[in-house]
Amino acid sequence: MRTKKKVSLTIDEEIYAEIDKASKTLNLAKSQLAQEAFSLWLKNRTEALMAKGYKEMAGEDNAFAAVTFDAQREILK
């Protein structure tokens, strides 16, 4: 069973030239460079989304803490 998929991309000539140069310099297939680039992009995107979610949750947690703190203050009066 084949575990890889073939992809066709259209990119700028300048980027292609840099990819070709890196492929030769690093002795890696262009497809391997592309796979590493996509993997890195997906990892960075996931981390950015997680960081955004954590920041949003922190804001919600602060708002909830303020409400409960006010409620406790009212009870202890």
**The pLDDT value given to residue 14:** 97
Do 33 and 26 form a contact (C-beta atoms < 8 A)? Answer: yes
17 dihedral zone (left: phi>0; alpha: psi -120 to 50; beta): alpha
Question: Which sequence spans correspond to the domains of the chain?
Answer: 29-75
Q: What are the b/e assignments for 24-63, b being 16+ CB within 10 Å?
A: eeeeeeeeebbeeeeeeeeeeeeeeeeeeeeeeeeeeeee
Q: Average per-residue pLDDT in the chain?
A: 88
**The pLDDT value given to residue 32:** 94
Asked if the model's pLDDT at residue 9 lies above 80, the reply is: yes
